[in-house]
Copies of this chain bind each other. A is one copy, B any other.
Amino acid sequence: MKIIRDPLELKRYLKDKKNSIGFVPTMGALHEGHIALIKKAREENEKVVVSIFVNPTQFSKGEDFSKYPKKDEADKKICAMSGVDVLFFPDAKAIYHDDEVSLLAPKVRGFVLEGLTRPSHFNGVLTVVMKLLNIVNPTKAYFGKKDAQQLNLISLMVKQMFMSVEIVAIDTVRESDGLALSSRNIYLSRTQRLEALKISSSLHLATKLIRKNILDVGEIKKQIRETLEPLEIFYVEILNRDFEMIKKVEVQNSVVLIEVKVGSTRLLDNIWI
């Protein structure tokens, strides 16, 4: 496995390649969720590139940027063992310049849900993802469905900006008890870890209601909120897969999204109905 730190060196290195390239951008602290992305990229492409970059611009003040989990050595081993060809490990200084051009998230879809409480978050995500995609110029790029709004906005960016990459969405990987894998789960105490199970339970409840043909968005949201109690809820929302408001669940075209705070940790989850 080749490790490259300089973006222009990586761009030159990959430019001459005539192979299909599968790209998995990450912030490191890799877990089974990331490994599922790498595995799919390995199956579908001749070359696999993984980036590890904790992007400062998607954290707001007071968020966990400085203490975001770092596991560089373990991450390298995971990549090497998963058949990654190139690991891209840039410094922030190589990615960001002074007085920058940046991406601005869509005015409606970028500033609801997670974007409501973290208003500059998706601007930072889109800016860094565009930079990384332009450096690697992959055939396909792999993102987890767990960050559903991020996935939606990246897909919109690729379409609206006429970028050449294909975005591939990969199912959320869960612990055996249902908790969605996240690098932030290590922040949870044992008690919090148990409380956090209410998230996947409430999504499970939503699925059951919909199977019983209860499709009223207001009713399902109410029951989810009851199940989540007493957790602090950022949002419970049910949207169509274009992330537009709906009143009745459209089966095969809806997403149920939840964000809560457990202790001081934000946890996201969702289910695609």
Contacts and interface: CB of A to CB of B under 8 A. Distances in A.
Interface string A147-167: 000000100110111111000
A104 B164 CA distance: 21
Interface in A78-120: 97, 99-110
A166 to B, nearest CB: 13
A199 interface: no
A163 B130 CA distance: 9
A134 interface: yes
B161 A134 contact: yes
Nearest to A126: B101
**Chain A interface, >50% SS class:** mixed
A248 to B, nearest CB: 22
A156 B101 contact: yes
A137 interface: yes
A135 interface: yes
A156 to B, nearest CB: 6
Q: Oligomeric state, in number of copies?
A: 2
A161 B130 contact: yes
Which of A15, A102, A131 has the most C-beta atoms of chain B within 10 angstroms of its own C-beta? Answer: A102
Given A7-B162, A161-B131, A99 B106 contact: yes
Contacts of A135: 162
Nearest to A106: B99
Contacts of A160: 97, 100-101, 131
A11 interface: yes
Nearest to A102: B104
Given A131-B162, A134-B164, A162-B135, A101 B7 contact: no
Interface string A120-157: 00010010001100110100000000000000010011
Contacts of A103: 101-104
Which of A8, A157, A159, A162 has the most C-beta atoms of chain B within 10 angstroms of its own C-beta? Answer: A162
A8 B158 CA distance: 13
Which of A15, A107, A126, A153 has the most C-beta atoms of chain B within 10 angstroms of its own C-beta? Answer: A107
30 contacts: A7-B162, A8-B162, A11-B162, A11-B164, A15-B164, A97-B159, A97-B160, A99-B106, A99-B107, A99-B109, A100-B106, A100-B160, A101-B103, A101-B104, A101-B105, A101-B110, A101-B126, A101-B153, A101-B157, A101-B160, A102-B104, A130-B161, A131-B160, A131-B161, A131-B162, A134-B161, A134-B163, A134-B164, A135-B162, A137-B164
